Chains A and B, each alone.
Chain A
Amino acid sequence: MLLDADNIYYRQLNKQIRELVAQGETEFEIINVRGQRYIADGLIGDLKFKVHGVPGQDMAAFMRGPTIRVEGNAQDGVGNTMDDGLVVIDGMAGDVVGYAMRGGKVLIKGDVGYRVGIHMKAYKEKFPVLVVGGKAGDFLGEYMAGGAIILLGMFTGKPDAPICGRSLGTGMHGGVIYVRGEVPVEQLGPHLKTEAVDEEDMKLITANLKQFCDEFGVDLNTVLAEPFQRVKPFSHRPYGNLYVAC
Chain B
Amino acid sequence: MKAPFRYYDFQKDISGCGVFGVINTKRELIPGDMPIKAMCTMHDRGNGLGGGFAAYGIYPDMADKYAFHIMCDTQDGLDRAEEIIKSFFTVHESQPIPTKRTPVIKNPPIVWRYFLTPKQGVDRPQWRSLEEQDFVVNVIMEINSKTPAFVFSSGRNMGAFKGIGFPEDIAEFFRLDEYSAYIWTGHNRFPTNTPGQWHGAHPFTLLDWSVVHNGEISSYGINMRYLCEHDYKCTLMTDTEVVAYELDMLVRKHGLSLQMASKVFAPPFWDEIDRMPEAEKKVYETLRMVYGSALLNGPFAILVSDGTCLMGLNDRIKLRPLIVAEHGNNVYMSSEESSIREVDRVLDNVWAPKAGEPVIVKLEE
Contact = CB atoms under 8 A, between A and B. Distances in A.
A39 to B, nearest CB: 12
A169 interface: no
A229 interface: no
Contacts of A186: 271, 275
Nearest to A161: B354
A35 B271 contact: no
B338 interface: yes
A75 interface: yes
A138 B351 contact: no
Given A35-B42, A95-B321, A113-B318, A158 B351 contact: yes
B45 to A, nearest CB: 9
A111 interface: yes
Interface in B24-50: 41-42, 44
Interface string A132-158: 000001110000000000000000011
A76 B335 CA distance: 10
Contact of A56 (B271, B338, B350, B354): B338
A153 B321 CA distance: 21
A229 B42 CA distance: 40
B169 interface: no
Main secondary structure of the interface of B (DSSP, over half): mixed
A6 to B, nearest CB: 10
Contacts of A33: 338
Contacts of B302: none
A73 interface: yes
B341 interface: yes
Interface in A151-206: 157-158, 161, 165-166, 186
A37 B321 contact: no
Contact of B41 (A34, A73, A92, A138): A34
Nearest to B340: A54
A90 B36 CA distance: 29
Contacts of B355: 114, 137-138, 165
Interface in B304-331: 317-318, 321, 323
Main secondary structure of the interface of A (DSSP, over half): loop
Contact of A75 (B44, B337, B349, B351): B337
B321 A34 contact: no
A91 B132 CA distance: 51
Interface string A5-39: 00000100000000000000000000001110100
A34 B318 contact: no
B338 A75 contact: yes
A10 B44 CA distance: 10
Contacts of B269: 166
A235 B331 CA distance: 46
Contacts of A35: 41-42, 336, 338-339, 341-342
A113 B321 contact: yes
Contact of A157 (B41, B318, B321, B351): B351
A103 interface: no
A67 to B, nearest CB: 22
A166 B339 CA distance: 29
A56 B336 contact: yes
Given A94-B352, A114-B355, A137-B355, A73 B321 contact: no
15 contacts: A34-B41, A35-B42, A54-B337, A94-B352, A95-B318, A95-B321, A111-B351, A113-B318, A113-B321, A114-B317, A157-B351, A161-B354, A165-B354, A165-B355, A186-B275
4 tightest CB-CB pairs across the interface, nearest first?
A35-B338, A34-B338, A114-B318, A54-B338
